[in-house]
């Protein structure tokens, strides 16, 4: 028996021991039962979305917030309306790291108007600023957007 065959044979034996110890270890792990007392929050009625898309329409395609001083934090509210036949469900809303957005996580009914609260921090900014707000929702197309402009002065 040459050295190569011996190493191969030892490798197979070691591999067998590893597999056996893994099988014994996994059989001793206790998996906690899910608590039956915990209930998921439920909506009062299910959203009307089956076969229907929503349509997100902003009051304006862009917003002008004027001039602010560098370091100032401003808060504004913009509105949109669901003009589609189904309930509007927003999956994700994003903007730059200097902007935080607060919006409804609940379905927005057909014809309903809803706010988006914008908080913009101008720390470290200077000059004209354009901030895009991108929204993923159950609309056609799924991408929706608006933007706001402002001027940061030192």
- Tens-place pLDDT, residues 19-29: 565 545 444 44
> What are the tens digits of pLDDT across the range 63-122?
999 999 999 999 999 999 999 999 999 999 999 999 999 999 999 999 999 999 999 999
Q: Quick check: 124 pLDDT over 80? A: yes
List the beta bridge partners of residue 68: 152
pLDDT on residue 31: 44
pTM: 0.65
How is residue 64 written in tokens?
């002008």
**Domain 56-153, second-level architecture:** Sandwich (2.60)
Query: Domain spans of the chain?
Result: 56-153
The answer for 141, left when phi > 0, alpha when psi is -120 to 50, beta otherwise, is beta
Name residues whose C-beta falls within 8 Å of residue 21's C-beta, 6 or more positions apart in sequence: none
Cα-based torsion angle of the residue sequence 44, 58, 124, 67 in order, rounded to the nearest 10 degrees: -130
First-to-final CA distance of the chain: 82
């Amino acid at each position: 028996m040459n050295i190569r065959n011996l190493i191969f044979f030892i490798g197979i034996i070691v591999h067998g021991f590893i597999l056996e110890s893994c099988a014994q270890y996994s059989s001793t792990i206790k998996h906690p039962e899910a608590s039956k007392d915990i209930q998921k929050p439920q909506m009062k009625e299910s959203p009307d979305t089956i076969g229907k898309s929503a349509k997100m329409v902003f009051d304006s395609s862009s917003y002008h917030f004027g001039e602010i001083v560098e370091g100032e934090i401003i808060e504004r509210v913009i509105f949109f309306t669901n003009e589609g036949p189904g309930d509007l469900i927003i999956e994700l809303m994003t903007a730059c790291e200097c902007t935080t957005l607060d919006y409804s996580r609940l379905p927005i009914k057909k014809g309903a108007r809803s706010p988006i609260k914008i908080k913009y921090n101008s720390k470290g900014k200077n000059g004209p600023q354009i901030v895009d707000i991108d929204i993923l929702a159950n609309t056609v197309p799924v991408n929706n957007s608006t933007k706001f402009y402002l001027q940061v002065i030192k």
